[in-house]
Every structure is written in C-alpha cells, then in structure tokens.
A and B are shown apart, each in its own frame.
Chain A
Amino acid sequence: MKNKYEIAKDIFIDSIDVDAYIELDSTIPVYETLVASLAKPLKMVLLFGKPGTGKSILLNTLMTRLQNQKEIYYFDTPFSTEKEFFFKFSLILRDKELVRKGEIDFSDLIGLCRELYGKREIVILLDEAQMYTSELMEKIRLLADTRSIKFVLTLHKTENEDLIAKEHFTTRIWEIIELKNGTPEDQMQYIHKKLAKKNLSDISESITIKQNKLMYQFTKGNYRECNKLMFTVFEICAYYNKDEVSKSNFDGITTRIIEMAALKLGYIHA
C-alpha cells in the first residue's frame, strides 16, 4: 500500500494530460485570451514562452474544453515531412479524393480550403512549431489565408523563435500571447492545488513560505522544474517514511530534504 508521499510523488509526474492542468491566477487570463482570440477573425495565434511554462498543457486543455463547440484538432508532435503534414491535414478535411490519390498537391489543398470557407471553421493547434521548416511555415501561412483554417502555434521563446515570428507573421493579423514563469506565489498555489486534487492538503499545508522560497530558488517558477523537484522531494520523503530506521525521526518536508532533492537534480553542488 502506498503511503501518502508516494501518492504525492506520482502527482508531480510531468504530463500534459488535462487532469494535470492547474488553473492559476496568472494562467487564467492567458487561457481566456486564447479562447477570445479564436473567436476573432484572426488567421493565426502565436503562443510562445520558455519550455515548461505550460504551453502544451494549455493547448490540450483548450482542445478538451472546446471540442464540443468547435472543430478543433491538436497536433502535439511536429511533423517530420511536409507530406506527412498534408496527409494528416487532408484527413481533417475528409476529402476522400485527396486521400485516394496518395499524393497531395498543395494548390489543390488551397483550393479545397477556399471552398470550405463559410461552411466549416477548423482550428488547428500546432505544438512545437519551432521544429517546422520555413517552407512548411510558409505553406501554413497560405492555408491560413483561406480563412477556413485557424492555426494556433506554440513556440519556444528563444532568440531564433522571436526571429521566426517576426519574419513569417508580421504581415498577418496576429494574436501573440506570452506564457511566463510563475511567481513564488504561483508556485505555492500550483503545489497546493496539485496536492489538494488528491486530498493531500495536510502535506501542502506543511510546506512553509520559507521552504517554498527555497524551492523557487531552484525552479525559478518553471512548472516543469517544479514537477521534477517536487517529485524528487516526495521520493525522498516516501523513503524516510517507509524505512524503519529513519521513520521515527522523519518529520515531513524539511529544508534538508529539499536541499537533498536539489543536489540530486543538479541545482546545487556540494
């Protein structure tokens, strides 16, 4: 039987499942802006931020919540070739003729999309768009110009990705949404809500502000790093709670345990 620390450890396994999505005071406005932008006559929406800020989980959550209202599709893995992309795209369009041909002509695809204007409004969520080639990105832009397809792209925020955004999309009507790392308060809220979902509020309440600040020093407010750190912290706690020798001295999450987790993950060094 798992002890509570083992259950808590599993909560912080990094995942983009909708169940893992936590609404925070800082992320709610971002979600609402994204939903509102889909209602606008915008061709493309750019969602960018550092890795681990919650872009993927946000898109997944968006798709899950809007799938009954809109024709929305989420591609979490980037396509390795253009052919693969167009094949998948054609399946969305449900054009049997295109599929039967085996080869997809881009101009045919454009023509098909123009015919769908006013009849269907398709939203395509493309994650890790920084992986796409510039030619593919150009074709995506052209598909968006048909106004029957709305694309939501996520990009990692680096110097290069900023450049891509500027070159390809400056002439389009854009909604640019940035996701940032959380504040210490956001992190505290994130941990509390995660644990509360599994009825482990007693553990969350034992974490002091000082301990949270210490963890923030390591994670810098990044949710992926926070998941990693909390997973390791609860892994150590689970061991001490289980081990007969150390069980009597074990008193929950301490600064020592947090520092041990940070040492293991390489945030600090002896």
Chain B
Amino acid sequence: MHDIKSLEKEWKRYNKNKRKPFYFLVLLLGAIGGAIFFYTKQTAITINDSKKTVPLPSIIKEVPTTQKVATIKNKTNVVSKAVNESYNLLLNHSILDLELEKKEILEDKNSAGMIPTLPVVHDIPLIDDPVHKSNTKSNSKKKPLIKVQKNVHAKVKRKKKQLKILKSSTKLGLKEVARRFKRYRNVEDALFLAKTYYKQGKYLKSEYWALETNKVDSHIEESWILFAKSKIKLGQKREAMSILKKYSQQSHSKKAKKLLLKL
C-alpha cells in the first residue's frame, strides 16, 4: 500500500477535527456550570446579608425626637453585637448635651450634714448640702439647686422603661449614666450608680447616689439600705443605725430591721 503515509496524515487531521465538537461541548458545559455556580453564590451572599440585618430596638426611634429616657428591656441572650454598638452610640448621642460631671463627685468632710430625716426630701436643706456646695460653686453650668429641690418635691410621672447599660462598670459608662440622671432624674439611674459604686467599694460615691435616689423617690427600700450600708463602710455606724431606725419605724421594712439587728 503505497499511500499509507498520506493516509496516516489525513487520519491525524480527521482525528483532530473529530474532537473539536467534544472540546467545544466541554467548554460550553464548563461555562454554563461556572455561570450557575457564580449566580448561586451571589444569591447566597444576598440572602446572608439580609439575615444579618437586625431590627434596632425601639429606643432608636424615640430618643432622637424626644427628650424622654427610653428604656429597653434587657434580653441578655438576644442583643447582638451590632445592636450593642448601635445602642452605645445612641447613648452617647443622647447625653451629649448634658453637663459634664466632675471627676470627683464627693469629698465628704462633714458627713454629719448628710444625715437625712424623714421624710427626707422635705427636710434636707440642699443649699447647705456640703456635697452640692462645692459643685455649685465650681461648675456654673449646672442648673440651680432650687430647681432641683422643686423637682424633688414633685413626683415626676414618667413612663418607666428599663434601661440597662451592659458595660456599666466602665468609668465612661458610669459618667454617662450620671449625666443622664442630671438631665432626666430617673431614680433607676441613680440607684444603679449607687449599687455599682458600692460593688466597686467606692462607698462615698455610693452613699451620695443612694441619697440622690432618695431625693427623687423616698420610698425605695433598696436605696435606704444601700445608704446605710455605705455609711457603715465609711465608719459611720451610729448614723447608719439612726437612719435604719427611723426608716424601719416609718416603713416597717424587714430588711432595715434585719440590718439593724446585725449592727
């Protein structure tokens, strides 16, 4: 067979051309597969992004427009990181216009003047209050105490919404709460500060904030107990006993009696 070489060459060309549709089909299927993969990936990302969006708490709607303190019920397991961040941000914005508190709130030189008599709100001469004297003199930006006294007499009826700052142990956080209290006079803020400072061992501050709580609302047992405890920690046992005696006589508080018996 003399033409075998040319036949072999011809066959190679044929074989090469025969595979072209196959390669084309493979490329086409690869392109379609890639397009489907890319499309499904994009769809998955879009779905994930939409899931991440967490509805902000109601406080976001209220705070910018009103001057009321909005509180959110603390659901410890629900609030995500994004919500915490947004909340803290809102908190900062909401108290920006508040006056800055001094670094040291109290220097108790003469604590005798701090002993309240029941009903506390009416008998405490705030103008003579040594705690506030220094503050009023030094910080002119603060509101006059007379106004505070008036406010103390009147029971402010507000919608109670629990607001608990998750990271309240930080110095900055406490200051912000204090600023908020100055503005809105929320007993829970003052009580929270009293408790926090007591836990931290800052009994002078806890005493002060317990007293502030009592000024706003004299019927809170916890603030009276905390006030007495702070006094005890500060070494003013007699005064603490006196407070507890008077309070237990008027309110018949079991806790106050119990603490008194301990002393």
A contact residues vs B (CB 8 Å cutoff): 235-236, 238-239, 256, 259-260, 263-264, 268-270
A263 and B4 alpha carbons, distance in the complex (Å): 11
The interface residues of chain B, by DSSP majority, are classed as: helix
Is B7 engaged at the interface, CB distance under 8 Å to the other chain?
A: yes
Contact count A vs B, C-beta below 8 Å:
29
Instruction: Please give, as numbers and ranges, the residues of chain B lying within 8 Å of A269 by CB-CB distance.
Output: 14
Q: 24 A-B residue contacts at CB 8 Å?
A: A235-B1, A236-B1, A236-B4, A236-B7, A238-B1, A239-B1, A239-B4, A256-B11, A256-B15, A259-B11, A259-B14, A259-B15, A260-B7, A260-B8, A260-B11, A263-B7, A263-B14, A264-B3, A264-B7, A269-B14, A270-B10, A270-B11, A270-B13, A270-B17
Instruction: Please give, as numbers and ranges, the residues of chain A lying within 8 Å of B17 by CB-CB distance.
Output: 270
A260 and B1 alpha carbons, distance in the complex (Å): 12
CB of B4, distance to nearest CB on chain A (Å) = 6
A239 and B2 alpha carbons, distance in the complex (Å): 9
Question: Residue on B with the closest CB to A235?
Answer: B1
Instruction: Please give, as numbers and ranges, the residues of chain B lying within 8 Å of A239 by CB-CB distance.
Output: 1, 4
Given A236-B1, A264-B7, A270-B17, 14 further pairs, Cβ under 8 A: A236-B4, A238-B1, A239-B4, A256-B11, A256-B15, A259-B11, A259-B15, A260-B7, A260-B8, A260-B10, A263-B10, A269-B14, A270-B10, A270-B11
Question: Residue on B with the closest CB to A238?
Answer: B1
Instruction: Please give, as numbers and ranges, the residues of chain A lying within 8 Å of B8 by CB-CB distance.
Output: 260
A26 and B50 alpha carbons, distance in the complex (Å): 71
A259 and B3 alpha carbons, distance in the complex (Å): 15
CB of B259, distance to nearest CB on chain A (Å) = 100
A236 and B4 alpha carbons, distance in the complex (Å): 8
Number of interface residues of B (CB under 8 A): 11
Contact between B11 and A263 (Cβ–Cβ < 8 Å)?
Answer: yes
The interface residues of chain A, by DSSP majority, are classed as: helix
CB of A9, distance to nearest CB on chain B (Å) = 10
Question: Residue on B with the closest CB to A236?
Answer: B1
A268 and B1 alpha carbons, distance in the complex (Å): 20
Residues B1-47 near A (CB distance < 8 A):
1, 3-4, 7-8, 10-11, 13-15, 17
Question: Residue on B with the closest CB to A232?
Answer: B1
Question: Residue on A with the closest CB to B13?
Answer: A270
CB of A34, distance to nearest CB on chain B (Å) = 40
Instruction: Please give, as numbers and ranges, the residues of chain B lying within 8 Å of A238 by CB-CB distance.
Output: 1
A235 and B1 alpha carbons, distance in the complex (Å): 7
CB of B30, distance to nearest CB on chain A (Å) = 27
Instruction: Please give, as numbers and ranges, the residues of chain A lying within 8 Å of B1 by CB-CB distance.
Output: 235-236, 238-239
Question: Residue on B with the closest CB to A262?
Answer: B14
Instruction: Please give, as numbers and ranges, the residues of chain B lying within 8 Å of A256 by CB-CB distance.
Output: 11, 15
A264 and B1 alpha carbons, distance in the complex (Å): 12
CB of A58, distance to nearest CB on chain B (Å) = 33
Instruction: Please give, as numbers and ranges, the residues of chain A lying within 8 Å of B14 by CB-CB distance.
Output: 259, 263, 268-270
Residues B166-192 near A (CB distance < 8 A):
none
A238 and B4 alpha carbons, distance in the complex (Å): 11
Question: Residue on B with the closest CB to A255?
Answer: B15
CB of B10, distance to nearest CB on chain A (Å) = 5
A238 and B11 alpha carbons, distance in the complex (Å): 18
A120 and B4 alpha carbons, distance in the complex (Å): 58
CB of A247, distance to nearest CB on chain B (Å) = 13
Instruction: Please give, as numbers and ranges, the residues of chain B lying within 8 Å of A268 by CB-CB distance.
Output: 14
A115 and B43 alpha carbons, distance in the complex (Å): 97
Scan B139-159; emit 1 where CB is below 8 A from any A CB, else 0: 000000000000000000000
